Amino acid sequence: MKVKVNYTVDIEDIPAMIQEILTSIRRDISDCTTRLIFNPSNFDKMVEDYRSAREKLDVVDSQIEDIINITAGWLQATQPKIEEGEEEVHHEE
């Protein structure tokens, strides 16, 4: 069962938190790839492993969406706002 959890962190901790989630995602994807083995001689185990991988990938998909939303909010909170009518100036070095 999946559960959505909300908690509060300092804004400067967001990048580290996202890196931790990404590390978990990478580990879960790696675990899924080890489960995806064609094994018709033990079909029941194969189906169990495939279903487990699909469930884990479903959680990974939700975590990726969370990262996108958290990053969007973090960028909005940390980047200077451009007032209407002002143009953003880029300086080339």
Question: Which pair of structure tokens corresponds to residue 10?
Answer: 């300092």
Mean pLDDT of 56-74: 96
Q: Where are the domains of the chain?
A: 14-64
Encode pLDDT of 22-63 as tens digits.
Answer: 999 999 999 999 999 999 999 999 999 999 999 999 999 999
Cα Rg of the chain, angstroms: 20
Cα separation of 89 and 87, whole Å? 6
